[in-house]
Amino acid sequence: MACGVALLCGLPAIVSAWPVPNSTLSAAALRTRILASADVPYQGYVESSVDLDLPSLPDLGDVSSLLDGVTDQYAWYLSPGQWRADTITQTGEDDTYQTSAGTFEWNYSANLMTQVTGSQPVRLPRAADLLPPALALRLLGFASSGTRVSRLPSQRVAGVDAAGLRLLPDDPDSTVGAVDIWADPRSGLPVEVAIISHGSTQPILVARFLDLSEIRPSPADVTPAPAAGVGTTVTALPDVSGILDRFGPPLPGTLARMTRVAVPSGLADVAAYGAGFSRFAVLPLPSRVGQSALNAAQSAGAGGVSLSGGTGALIDTPLLTVLLAQSQFGGPVYLLTGAVTPALLVRAGSDLLNDESGS
């Protein structure tokens, strides 16, 4: 009996140490299979670790912890429009449901279920963005035609003999040095993603399944059903375009020699510039929020930068760069951010403020 118990206890270590057969899929074939995996159902447990060392900014507490720490979450995925992700917190959990009726968010501490109606053309990052399938598809979407793609040795992730794929961006203005993705070679479902910053050998972001079943969750698993005693409320998202339209002149067609590209939301007041991994976003902030963010960034030790036509506060991490820029004459505070070099954002900020003063 003792030998049997010892064997059972040692099985996970034995399985993990068993050699992983290398997939014969080519890099191009694996990439194609991953891109076609959006409809693959699954359920599992994910751990993500990010180390950006971001300063604390007002109204961004959840985002700061998401991008600078460890996040654990359970996920049930039926389709792109029907899934659920439960983030484990110190006090319980916070759940997000995506349904045809909108997004539902359950806050354990407040014992409140909130239905969010309307589209979300602009939103802050959330924990579900770090689920390996969602993260891998987003990163592959950034890859340009010049991004080199190669195979990595297979490794076992959550019981899956996963085939590895490496993306090597060719964007000199990007801070991304490499993106490593491991996926089930049969279904293409990504099971682990690692991002390595330029000039480093160790990943600064890792998201991986610790437990995974590629089976369809039941409808009950992805349908919000608040228990008796749970408060419920409905909130409609505001017209973001109408709000942002009051905070500055139209954003220009080019910044730092980067051409403005269409964003899926179609918003005129939120812009993306560049291509591939050197793409960055620009948006004007409401005066109170913008000034508060600028002051907080400066107080938190963000580097002050002199821009042509104004001043700014620069938050520089190995992966993500954030610039808050304001004209020397006051006015709106602009937020520029992306996985790009500080030099690129400083050039873009200067162009933006010069364009504003000349408009």
CB atoms within 10 A of CB 61: 10
Of 279 and 289, the structure prediction assigns the larger pLDDT to 279
Reported as half-sphere exposure (CB side, CA atoms, 13 A), residue 75 has a value of 33
Q: Where are the domains of the chain?
A: 22-235, 240-358
Query: Does pLDDT of 60 surpass 60?
Result: no
Reported as half-sphere exposure (CB side, CA atoms, 13 A), residue 144 has a value of 13
Q: What is the pLDDT of residue 237?
A: 60
Cα 325 from Cα 346, distance rounded (Å) = 9
Strand order of the β-sheet with 42-51 is 148-157, 160-168, 176-183, 190-197, 203-213, 42-51, 68-79, 82-88, 93-99, 102-107, 112-117, 231-236
Q: What is the pLDDT of residue 243?
A: 44
| pLDDT tens digit sequence for 244-287 | 445 556 789 999 999 998 765 545 557 899 989 999 999 888 77
Residue range 240-358 forms a domain whose CATH class is alpha beta
pLDDT-wise least confident of 49-63, 163-177, 202-216, 288-302:
49-63
pTM of the model: 0.86
User: Which residue from 56, 48, 308, 85 is spatially nearest to 194, judged by alpha carbons?
Assistant: 48
Confidence grade of residue 176 (pLDDT, cut at 50, 70, 90)? very high
Of 299 and 88, the structure prediction assigns the larger pLDDT to 88
Of 43 and 236, the structure prediction assigns the larger pLDDT to 43
Reported as half-sphere exposure (CB side, CA atoms, 13 A), residue 164 has a value of 16
Q: What is the pLDDT of residue 356?
A: 67
Domains 22-235 and 240-358 share a fold: no
Cα 190 from Cα 188, distance rounded (Å) = 6
The overall average pLDDT reported for the chain is 85
Average pLDDT of the residues in 69-90: 94
Q: Which residues contact 223 (CB under 8 A, 6 or more apart)?
A: 97, 99
Q: What percent of the chain has pLDDT over 70?
A: 84
Average pLDDT of the residues in 52-73: 73
Q: What is the pLDDT of residue 14?
A: 46
State which fold the 22-235 domain adopts: outer membrane lipoprotein receptor (LolB), chain A (2.50.20)
**C-alpha distance across the termini of the chain, in Å:** 82
Average pLDDT of the residues in 24-47: 97
Residue 46 contacts residue 57 (beta carbons within 8 Å): no
| pLDDT tens digit sequence for 105-127 | 998 888 899 998 866 555 678 89
Cα 210 from Cα 227, distance rounded (Å) = 29
Cα 168 from Cα 208, distance rounded (Å) = 20
Cα 141 from Cα 171, distance rounded (Å) = 15
